[in-house]
Amino acid sequence: MGAASTRGHGTVPRTALVEAVARFPRVPLAMLPTPLVEAPRLSAALRGPTIWLKREDLAGLGLGGSKYRILEFTLGDAVAGGADVVIASGMAQSNHPQQVVSAACHLGIPAIVLLGGVEGRVGWTGNMLLEGLSGAEVHVLPSAGFDELRVAQEVLADRLRARGRRPALVTLTRDVHLRGVIAYVAYVAELAQQLEDHGLEVAALYVASGGPTYAGMALGAIATGAAFDVIGVSPLGRAADCTRHVTGLIEEAARLLELDLTLDPGRVHVTDAYLGPGHGITTPEAVAAIKLTAASEGVFLDPVYSGKAMAALIDHIGKGELQPTQAVVFAQTGGVPALFAYAKELMPEPCSAVET
Residue 7 has pLDDT above 80, yes or no: no
The catalytic residue among 66, 89, 94, 306 is 94
pLDDT of residue 120: 61
Same-domain pairing of 197 and 239: yes
Please report whether residue 199 resides in a domain. Answer: yes
Residue 6 has pLDDT above 50, yes or no: no
Same-domain pairing of 138 and 49: no
Same-domain pairing of 285 and 245: yes
Of all residues in the chain, the percent with pLDDT exceeding 70 is: 95
pLDDT of residue 342: 92
pLDDT of residue 286: 98
Same-domain pairing of 144 and 186: no
Q: On the CB side of 95, how many CA atoms lie within 13 Å of its CA? A: 29
User: What is the spatial distance between Cα 4 and Cα 264, in angstroms, rounded to a whole number?
Assistant: 7
Residue 266 has pLDDT above 80, yes or no: no
136 in Cβ contact with 113 (< 8 Å):
yes
pLDDT of residue 217: 97
User: What is the spatial distance between Cα 242 and Cα 212, in angstroms, rounded to a whole number?
Assistant: 10
DSSP state for residue 342 in the 8-state scheme: G
Residue 154 has pLDDT above 60, yes or no: yes
Same-domain pairing of 180 and 136: no
Contacts made by residues 299-302, CB under 8 angstroms, sequence distance 24+: 299/39, 299/53, 299/55, 299/57, 299/332, 300/57, 300/336, 300/339, 301/332, 301/335, 302/95, 302/333, 302/334, 302/335, 302/336, 302/338, 302/339
pLDDT, tens only, 75-133: 999 999 999 999 999 988 889 999 999 999 999 999 999 999 765 677 888 999 999 99
Task: Report the chain's mean pLDDT, rounded to a whole number.
Answer: 92
pLDDT of residue 280: 86
Domain boundary among 124, 144, 173: 173
Please report whether residue 353 resides in a domain. Answer: no
* Angle (nearest 5°) at CA 275 between 140 and 308: 95
The residue type at 27: V
Please report, to the nearest 10 degrees, the dihedral formed by the alpha carbons of residues 56, 58, 59, 61 taken in order.
130
Same-domain pairing of 278 and 153: no
* Range in 9-13, 64-68, 136-140, 162-166 with the lowest mean pLDDT: 9-13
pLDDT of residue 260: 84
Domain boundary among 112, 145, 173: 173
Please report whether residue 43 resides in a domain. Answer: yes
pLDDT (average), residues 202-231: 95
Residue 258 has pLDDT above 70, yes or no: yes
Residue 45 has pLDDT above 80, yes or no: yes
Residue 186 has pLDDT above 80, yes or no: yes
Q: Residue 223's domain spans which residues?
A: 6-64+175-346
pLDDT (average), residues 150-164: 97
- Using CA atoms, how far residue 128 sits from 144, 148, 176, 335, in Å, is 16, 19, 22, 12
The H-or-E segment that residue 173 falls in is none
pTM: 0.93
Number of domains, the chain: 2
Please report whether residue 355 resides in a domain. Answer: no
Reduced to 3 states, what is the DSSP secondary structure of residue 205?
A: strand
DSSP state for residue 35 in the 8-state scheme: P
Please report whether residue 54 resides in a domain. Answer: yes
Higher pLDDT, 40 or 259: 40
pLDDT of residue 160: 98
**Which residues, 6+ apart, have CB-to-CB distance to 344 below 8 Å?**
none
94 noted as active-site residue: yes
Please report whether residue 235 resides in a domain. Answer: yes
Same-domain pairing of 154 and 187: no
φ, ψ (nearest 5 deg) of residue 145: -100, -170
Reduced to 3 states, what is the DSSP secondary structure of residue 323?
A: coil
pLDDT, tens only, 279-327: 889 999 999 999 999 999 999 999 999 999 999 999 999 999 999 999 9
Please report whether residue 108 resides in a domain. Answer: yes
pLDDT (average), residues 55-61: 94
Please report whether residue 321 resides in a domain. Answer: yes
Higher pLDDT, 209 or 118: 209
Query: Edge to edge, what strands does the sheet with 204-207 contain?
Result: 36-38, 50-55, 327-332, 204-207, 229-233, 268-271
Same-domain pairing of 200 and 167: no
Please report, to the nearest 10 degrees, the dihedral formed by the alpha carbons of residues 263, 265, 268, 272 taken in order.
130
On the 0-12 / 13-18 / 19+ scale of CB atoms within 10 A, 66 is buried
- Other beta carbons less than 10 A from residue 325's beta carbon: 8
Same-domain pairing of 90 and 44: no
pLDDT (average), residues 146-156: 95
Q: On the CB side of 33, how many CA atoms lie within 13 Å of its CA? A: 16
Q: How confident is the model at residue 3 (pLDDT cuts 50, 70, 90)?
A: very low
51 in Cβ contact with 75 (< 8 Å):
no
Same-domain pairing of 193 and 94: no
Domain boundary among 134, 149, 173: 173
Same-domain pairing of 333 and 211: yes
User: What is the spatial distance between Cα 248 and Cα 68, in angstroms, rounded to a whole number?
Assistant: 23
CATH of the domain at 114: 3.40.50.1100
Same-domain pairing of 252 and 238: yes
